[in-house]
Structure 1
Amino acid sequence: MANIKIPTSFNIDLEFETANIFQRLMGWLIDGFIKVLYITVLGYTVNNLQLGEVASYVIYFFLGVLPMVCYFPVLEIIMNGQTPGKLLMNIRVRNMQGGQPSMSQHLIRWLFRIIETPYIIINGLIPLIAMLRSPYYQRLGDVVAGTIVVSTKTKASLSGTIFRDMSAVDYTPRFPQILRLSDRDMNKIKNLMDQAVKSNNPELTARVAYRVRDVLEIQTDMMPGEFLETILNDYNYYTTR
């Protein structure tokens, strides 16, 4: 496996372990088994219904062909970069900043999957060669889309930094004044928050929250812990847009 360090806007490098060829192949085989099982059950069901030829073709198209064609992009969007196969192999699709891929990135990966399809032996060599040539085991679709498949067991714990992936939520920021602080300031605030939690010291949390409100001239009735979490989320939202 290879590790990739992804710089953030907070002067923190998040280290991810990339998925190797075995993990990606096994994930694909699991997804392939699920697809074959689904088609087998669908075919058995339609045959038992004894429908007409036209009706059977319509059902096969809408309940068979379309789900199979859209299997990867739809599930990876719904499951935040995963399919059942990727989930079982503990891997996930991410963008090169470590966040959730955009809709266009998912679609680009899907379009390139058409020419990389392993159903034909020759075409199956394309993703294999691309992954062997890539230091991060990226297939051609990943390279073009700007995505990477990583292990869900990251080397760096996101909860230990001020990084928050706000791309996956419909978030509305509360305090634009937070941009007056630097990433160094935010890291100090996060470290003090962690110390307060570990030592079970709500007074420290309250003092930090009061100091931030005083410096930024913020008026709010939010509880200290809630307020500090909100400004961390706000900072991530503004600096990653």
Structure 2
Amino acid sequence: MSNIKIPTSFNIDLEFETADAMTRFLAWLIDFGIRAAYVLLAFIAISALNINSDARMAFIILVVSIPVMLYFLVTEIAMGGQSPGKKMMHMKVVSLSGNQPTASQHLIRWIFRMIESPLMAGLFFIPVILPIVTMSRTPYNQRLGDLVAGTIVINTKRKGSIEETIFRDMSASDYQPQFPQIMRLSDRDMNKVKELLDKALLAGDEVLAAKVAHRVKEVLHIQSDLPNTSFLETVLNDYNYYTTRDN
């Protein structure tokens, strides 16, 4: 596995761990099993129908072939970049900007999947080799569809405990937030602030804390005389207050 750093509008790099080829293959096997089970059940149901051969062929095309062919396109759009197999293997498709892929990016990936699909192995040898070659030759394990669409597949499995996230329970206190501007930032931005603050506190690095605090104030146009670490703790508390309070 390799890591990719993606800059945000907050001017802080987000780091993602790309999914390795074996994990992606296992996810594909899960999705293949789901599609195979669907095809089997569909054929059993169609066989039970007392219809002529032309009608049976029409049913096979409409009920079997088209849903199987559109499986990845529909599931990854509906599930925000995940198929059932990817979800079970803790993977997700994202654009190179770190955002969810657009419909056109999903479409491009799907079109190239038709070319690369191992299901074509009985007809062509190259489609089976092509994804393996491109994933082994690209730094972020991208298949051809990812390269053309501008996407990567990342590992979404979180490592660590809830104490390592930005979550803080503010429901049991009479907390008074100070910086409503903090809601202009995203969870990813705040996770990065939390990560850098923890690093500064652990190392006693006041310079790092000052840099992070200065950047937050600069982006959000905040004026504050709080010490740097106290300021960062406050913005984290404020963010939790605004995002977890009852509406």
Q: Following the alignment from structure 1 to structure 2, what is the Cα–Cα distance between the partners of residues 15 and 123?
A: 31
- Alignment TM-score, normalising by the size of structure 2: 0.68
Q: Following the alignment from structure 2 to structure 1, what is the Cα–Cα distance between the partners of residues 239 and 96?
A: 32
Q: Following the alignment from structure 1 to structure 2, what is the Cα–Cα distance between the partners of residues 149 and 27?
A: 11
Matched, 1:145 2:168: no
Where in structure 1 are there 5+ consecutive unaligned residues?
166-180, 199-204, 206-224, 229-241
Aligned to 1:53: 53
Displacement of 1:185 in angstroms is: 4.1
State the secondary structure of the residue aligned to 1:131.
Answer: helix
Aligned to 2:207: none
Q: Following the alignment from structure 1 to structure 2, what is the Cα–Cα distance between the partners of residues 55 and 155?
A: 52
Displacement of 1:49 in angstroms is: 1.7
Q: Following the alignment from structure 2 to structure 1, what is the Cα–Cα distance between the partners of residues 103 and 166?
A: 26
Aligned to 2:85: 85
Displacement of 1:153 in angstroms is: 2.7
Aligned to 1:126: 130
Q: Following the alignment from structure 2 to structure 1, what is the Cα–Cα distance between the partners of residues 139 and 51?
A: 52
- Alignment TM-score, normalising by the size of structure 1: 0.69
Where in structure 2 are there 5+ consecutive unaligned residues?
168-181, 189-216, 223-227
State the secondary structure of the residue aligned to 1:56.
Answer: helix
Aligned to 1:194: 236
Q: RMSD between aligned alpha carbons?
A: 3.1
Q: Following the alignment from structure 2 to structure 1, what is the Cα–Cα distance between the partners of residues 24 and 142?
A: 10
Alpha-carbon displacement from aligned partner over 1:138-188 (angstroms, at most 9, x marks no partner): 0010011000000113679885893258xxxxxxxxxxxxxxx852547x9
Matched, 1:29 2:29: yes
- What percentage of residue pairs aligned between the two structures are identical? 41
Larger RCO (CA under 8 A, 6+ residues apart):
1
Count of matched residue positions in the alignment of Structure 1 and Structure 2? 189
State the secondary structure of the residue aligned to 2:118.
Answer: coil
Aligned to 1:64: 64
